[in-house]
Chain A
Amino acid sequence: MSGLRLTEGSRGPGASVAVEGAPLTRTQVPYVTGSSVLGMKCADGVVIACDTMASYGSLARFKRLTRMHVASPNCILGVGGDYSDFQQLQTMVDAEMTAQYVANDGLSLSPKAIHAFLARHMYHRRCKVDPLWNSVLVAGFHKGEGTLSLVDLYGTAYSSDVLATGFALHLGLPLLRNAHRPDITVAEAKVVMNDVLKVLFYRDARTNDVVQLATVTAAGVEVGDMVKLDTEWNHKAFVQGARAGDESSW
């Protein structure tokens, strides 16, 4: 491998790193990142939720950014991971949608097709070892049924009744699983989402307390406003510790 010459210059650890003799590498670290995204499939639609912060390492860099993107009238994406890669994804999805529009053949991409499209693209990029550093929740409503699926930076793609990415994979998913019933309604799920987002805000240091919910139902996509969470810091366990005799809070 020695003697391999590279053309791209060095722009820090996240960009292309050119070191003589070493092969070219690309994104190895995400920079500005969004944290978790939550999703739940309900009887009458799908709900996804996330906070609105984008961090730069440990710095709370942007505090009012939407991490959702309306892909089509019946499909919305909720995205965690690198924010610039998310914007790249938006551009790409929009271009695809424009191509659909101008074809004017009466066809449109179903949420499932959008999910497959993203999965193929993400997989392609990881095979180039130049991944889009995101995990994407795809929520849609098609032919009377909600769909909820996920794609990550490797191109892993699957569907489930409840999904969570990032930190919420550890802290949120169990809560969502407990709350989920096949007959849960969108209205009920929104309440659950708010609770889970609150738990995440208490414990995930890359999360803020301004959140956004979106629903997809037979009526189409509805993206909610950014809402400030009602937080409560005087829980006994927060103040006194989990067990009697604990010196520090839990």
Chain B
Amino acid sequence: MLSEGTLGAVWGPSLAVLPTRVPREPGCTASGLGPISTSTSILTGLCFVRAPRARFWFIVSCVYVVGLTGAFGRPPVSGSSLLLCGSGSCRTVLAVAGKDFCVVASDTRLGLGYSIPSRKVSRILKMTDKVVLASSGMQADMMTLHKTLRMRLVKYQQNHQKDMSLTAASQMLSNMLYTRRFFPYYTFNVLGGIDEKGEGWAYGYDAIGSHEKVSAVCSGTGQTLIQPVLDNQIEFKQQWGAPKVDLSLEATVELIRDAFTSAGERDIYTGDYVEICKITKDGVEVEEFQLKFD
């Protein structure tokens, strides 16, 4: 699976959607770009990325900011970004599934460079009483995605006279992300809920809809810190021979709190507050706890 973390790093052979402008010698027009402005700009590329597990090529359009100043009125800085990138990226989201429950959580920090424009921006969408979505990545894309999803959910409810199931929601999300295959929603989603059999499940997505049904997944800047812990504690990875036990809801929530607290210590983009949605057969219960404001 691809994630926000890895996207930045994978610069594949670049099929430029928009030109990557680098300073050129006068008269160097071989590429047809010509000697234009020396202020460079977007690094937007279509990168071919080999997804580790999946047996096919993903083409991921990735967009990356370099040195966004955040302040206006400065002369264009060499290397300052163009536009496509996410300002105000939302950071860590996760979903952990239990036997008959699922917990979806996210921090609420809105980060922009080294600044924190807002400490409380929710990125969780309660899709139905049994399905909850959390999106990391670009806030504007996230908002648009959530708005569109809300509309689709209402339409589904009206057409079918029932709420969308977890599996249906997971597929619809994938489809919606894929409609923007060549200009993706810069969002990295995790979806959690209870399926028709009453079992809890989590789904992890990349920006363009590729997804995987798992029991625990984390996305965003805290991913590298939290995912290994979830692998170990939920899936009992690396615990050779240890009996696999199902965590209770309370224990899962405890684990998630610890995970966020730890990620908040090491990841500057994770902090402020954590929203934790506990999804059980009785519906969704939300609790919130504070992380450090630093």
Contacts and interface: CB of A to CB of B under 8 A. Distances in A.
Interface of A: 1-2, 13, 17, 19-23, 25, 28-30, 33-36, 55, 57-58, 80-82, 119, 122-123, 126-127, 129, 131, 133, 135, 150, 152-160, 163-167, 169-170, 173, 204, 206
A33 B74 CA distance: 9
B140 A154 contact: yes
Interface string B37-81: 101010000000000000000000000000000111111100000
Most buried by B among A30, A150, A154: A154
Contact of B41 (A23, A28, A34, A164): A28
Contact of B18 (A29, A55, A129): A129
A37 B28 CA distance: 42
B18 A154 contact: no
A107 to B, nearest CB: 21
B183 interface: yes
B36 A19 contact: yes
Nearest to A162: B118
A22 B19 contact: yes
Interface string B129-154: 00000000011100110000000000
A158 B139 contact: yes
B121 A81 contact: no
A29 B76 contact: yes
B125 to A, nearest CB: 15
B140 A123 contact: yes
14 contacts: A19-B36, A28-B76, A28-B83, A35-B73, A122-B140, A123-B140, A131-B83, A133-B72, A152-B88, A155-B143, A156-B139, A166-B72, A167-B71, A169-B70
Contact of A1 (B16, B73, B84): B16
Contacts of A34: 72-73
B71 A170 contact: yes
Nearest to B112: A169
For the residues of B in contact with A, the DSSP-based class is loop
B72 A206 contact: yes
Most buried by B among A34, A35, A55, A155: A155
B138 A163 contact: no
A119 B87 CA distance: 14
Contacts of B17: 23
B266 interface: no
B64 to A, nearest CB: 14
Contacts of B75: 57-58
B86 A154 contact: yes
B83 A156 contact: no
Contacts of B74: 206
Contact of A13 (B32, B36, B110, B140): B36
A206 B183 contact: no
Interface of B: 16-19, 31-34, 36-37, 39, 41, 70-76, 82-88, 110, 112, 115, 117-121, 138-140, 143-144, 183
Contact of A2 (B32, B37, B70, B117): B32
B118 to A, nearest CB: 5
A13 B70 contact: no
B120 A160 contact: yes
Contacts of A156: 87-88, 110, 138-140, 143
In the A-B complex, list the 10 residue pairs whose CB atoms are closest, starting with the nearest: A21-B32, A155-B140, A206-B73, A33-B73, A167-B71, A156-B88, A160-B118, A13-B37, A156-B140, A156-B139
A150 B117 contact: yes
Contacts of B88: 152, 154, 156, 158
Contacts of B33: 19, 21-22
A156 B115 CA distance: 15
Nearest to A54: B73
Given A154-B83, A169-B117, 6 more contacts: A25-B18, A25-B82, A28-B76, A57-B75, A133-B72, A154-B138
A30 B55 CA distance: 44
B144 A19 contact: no
Contacts of B144: 123, 155
Nearest to A23: B18
B72 A22 contact: no
Given A25-B18, A29-B39, A35-B73, A19 B115 contact: no
B73 A13 contact: no
Contact of B72 (A17, A81, A126, A163): A81
Given A154-B138, A157-B140, A158-B117, A166 B73 contact: yes
